[in-house]
Amino acid sequence: MRTLDFDIVIVGGGSAGCVIAARLAADSDARVLLLERGNPDTNRWIQIPATFFKALRTEADAVASEPDPSLDGRRFVVPQGKVMGGGSSVNGMIYMRGQHRDYDDWETEHGCTGWGFDRVLPTFKRQEANTRLSDDFHGQHGRLVVADPSAPHPVSAAILVAAVAAGIPRSDDFNGATQTGAGWYQVTAHGGQRQSAARCFLRPELGRPNLTVLTNHLAARIVIENRRAVGVEAFDEQGQPVVIRALREVVLTAGSFQTPKLLMLSGVGPRDVLERHGIPVLHEADEVGRNYQDHVGAPVTRRLKAPLGLHGADSGLKALKHAVDYWVFRRGLLTSNLLQAGACVDTSGAGRPDVQFNFAPFAPGAPGQPPLAFHAVQIHPMTMRPRSRGRLGLRSADPADAPHFETRILSDPDDLGTLRRGVRLAREICAQSPLRELLGAEIWPGADTSTATGSNTLDDAIRKQARTIFHPAGTCRMGPTPAAAVDLHLRVNGISGLRVADCSVMPALVSGNTNAPTMMIADRAADAILADL
């Protein structure tokens, strides 16, 4: 069996892993290994912003839940990036940090001292290279390029005008003093290129002699001796076993599914789960795999009367024109992230936005399904702070198996109520000029579905339509007591030399997209690791 020696082994080459590996290699003499189960990020669909749906189909795998009673027995399917850069290589490139109060709540409600907004903001600013904004909330000298969307689509512009007509204030910065409003997103795409964590953080450091990157390596378990993590057992690209010794630390950045799975395979997790699969219990940790949460959406979908959307843009003469524009002039549709605009709205009157809307000049299908085969638009309401919780376990002791996944994703009635209000407001936006003049028949929820208060038909329709927004989190949440999966420095409780630094440590989901917060968490973890070296 082949054996390798490093000082620090990072398991998972997603957004978090790329940030931590780059920081540690650049700012220390530690020998750093970044281990990724997926491919290098060489697929051209990754780098072209507008082809992210193709990248998602080819460079991701999906975890399907058990039948979910809150979805009338339907399975909840969550695709996850399986490629260097992880989610940042396959996502829609929306740059949103969440609300200030999200992080203050981590501190005051969940006991995560040191994680309030004033403490995390400097890290966001340090990472950011914003091409437009430079103020108290933004940086311009970091690695991560953040820009306004290119080639704004006229249908998206019409939806924005309609949203303002429906009473939503206009916003030019969802990451500034307030998140409330409707406007163009800022995105991690610039100059016709996706600005992934792999591109912005990892790639500039790849020439360093103390940094090694291995792709297509599946981590099987963490080697734990005397309650200390000392390495990782893995299978290489040929399926052969390899032992990787970590002389200083193992860092898990494999995401909200793979990180808790790997901990449980290694004997760290709920006793009942481990014993069921014959895994020796090295540290009983009931919180590992619990607290699963995700943003959930139900997109209101309307036909366009005229061929004004993006249907057919990837075929025939249209595709040829877009290809010439992109490859010759670096302009046009292919430079766009497509999901260019949206809104954050307080629909409950609680004083902070609770629904995020994505505005799309096309109609994406459900996860794993192609876009709808006609010109259409979607106004997609999503829960921002879901209350429903699920859990992960093990399907078997085989590291190649997907985890056992129970969602109950709409089990809390407040989440269903949030989506009801979002659907109602989306329909109201559709009724405003200039959008209403462009729209034809409603595809979902449909003319037969009433959005009136107390309508059972709307609840039934939402349960059939509800889908992931690709933001799973919380399955190794941090906390101030030994009962938490990890402590406030992201060290796994009960096991030394082992840390978790991805979105699984979030005690509660942020109100918005998770890629930016995940990179912030990783950068703060790098600070803590460097301080311990």
DSSP 330: S
User: Residues 61, 335, 429, 183: is their CA dihedral positive or negative?
Assistant: positive
Chain centre distance of CA 332:
26
Query: Is residue 511 within 8 Å of residue 179, measured between CB atoms?
Result: yes
Burial (CB < 10 A; 0-12, 13-18, 19+), residue 15, is buried
The residues, ordered by sequence, that sit 6+ positions from 79 with a Cβ below 8 Å of its Cβ are: 56, 60, 61, 62, 90, 367, 368, 468, 470
Three-state secondary structure call for residue 453: coil
Query: Is residue 175 within 8 Å of residue 185, measured between CB atoms?
Result: no
* Rounded-to-integer distance, Cα 160 and Cα 163, Å: 5
Cα atoms in the Cβ-side hemisphere of radius 13 Å centred on 92: 19
* Rounded-to-integer distance, Cα 250 and Cα 6, Å: 10
* Rounded-to-integer distance, Cα 472 and Cα 65, Å: 12
Query: Is residue 98 within 8 Å of residue 82, measured between CB atoms?
Result: no
**Peptide bond preceding 49: is omega within 30 degrees of 0, i.e. cis?**
no
* Rounded-to-integer distance, Cα 108 and Cα 24, Å: 31
* Rounded-to-integer distance, Cα 505 and Cα 115, Å: 12
Helix (H) or strand (E) holding 182: strand 181-184
* Rounded-to-integer distance, Cα 95 and Cα 88, Å: 10
Catalytic residues: 471
Q: Are strands 268-269 and 283-284 parallel, antiparallel or unpaired?
A: parallel
Q: Which two tokens stand for residue 169?
A: 């204030």
* Rounded-to-integer distance, Cα 132 and Cα 148, Å: 8
CA-closest candidate to residue 406, choices 67, 28, 41: 67
Q: Which two tokens stand for residue 96?
A: 């949103």
Query: Is residue 80 within 8 Å of residue 255, measured between CB atoms?
Result: yes
* Rounded-to-integer distance, Cα 202 and Cα 217, Å: 18
Q: How far is CA 104 from CA 99, 108, 110, 117, in A?
A: 9, 6, 9, 6
Query: Is residue 222 within 8 Å of residue 229, measured between CB atoms?
Result: yes
For 41-59, give the DSSP string. S--HHHHSGGGHHHHHHHS
